[in-house]
Amino acid sequence: MRLSRHPERAAYDRATIDAILDEGLVGHVGLESAGQPYVLPMLYARDGDQLYLHGSPVSRLLGALSEGVRICFTVTLLDGLVLARSAFRHSLNYRSVVVLGAGRAVRDRHEKLDALRAIVDHAFPGRSDLVRGPSEPELKVTEVVALDLEHASAKARTGPPADKPGDYAIAVWAGELPLGLLVCAPIPDSRCSAPEPPELRSYRRGAA
């Protein structure tokens, strides 16, 4: 999809696309069923040029995804509010990726195990090595769907508001209010006796 609005904000290079996908934690998958589109949040991971989603095979969503219907997967990073001098020029700073394609049900055992590891490690790097991996019954009730990144595009807005020349005389504060992901203090569950790993306190998404 070539994005027709604000073409100056679009990018199609894989480095830009990969960086946004790798920083995001949750994406939104869209698909149509019986004339009604649905948009649902999902965890995911990227491995090379494949995007992996997972869920229960009995869910309507994953069932449809694995049948090869056309889907859209969008990841949006909110970078800030753009506060302008006119209502019209208010905007958001953001980076987003839109991936179009048809889902492919992952049947190969090795690819499926790798994808499930990637999804856990995407949310929390290195976590797969520390926890129990999927049992056979768990594998059976987990559907993994791959989406090729061939038809992916990125879009971003950065920087200060772009006010109309005549509006700069308006005496109101204008600029950016940067936003990001807040990581709070970890909460061990009531049966946790293992020490808190330092990676919990240093958890961040992206380069920052």
Please give the residues from 33 up to 92 whose contact with a copy of itself meets the rule CB under 8 A: 35-41, 43, 55-56, 58-61, 70-74, 76, 78, 80-81, 83-88, 90, 92
| Binds a copy of itself (CB under 8 A): choice among 11, 19, 156, 179 | 179
Cα gap 53→27, rounded to integer Å: 10
Single residue of 68, 133, 140, 158 touching a copy of itself by CB under 8 A: 133
Rounded to a whole number of angstroms, the minimum distance from the CB of residue 56 to a copy of itself is 6
Q: How far is the CB of 86 from a copy of itself (least distance, A)?
A: 4
The gap from C-alpha 114 to its chain's centroid, in whole angstroms, comes to 19
Q: Compute and round to an integer the Cα radius of gyration of the chain.
A: 20
Q: Any residues with CB less than 8 A from the CB of 125 and at least 6 apart, and which?
A: 199
Q: Which residues pair with 37 in a beta bridge?
A: 32
Of 96, 106, 143, 154, the one binding a copy of itself (CB under 8 A) is 96
* 3 state DSSP class of 203: coil
Site for a copy of itself in 111-130 (CB under 8 A): 116-117, 120, 123-124, 127-128, 130
d(CA 54, CA 115): 9
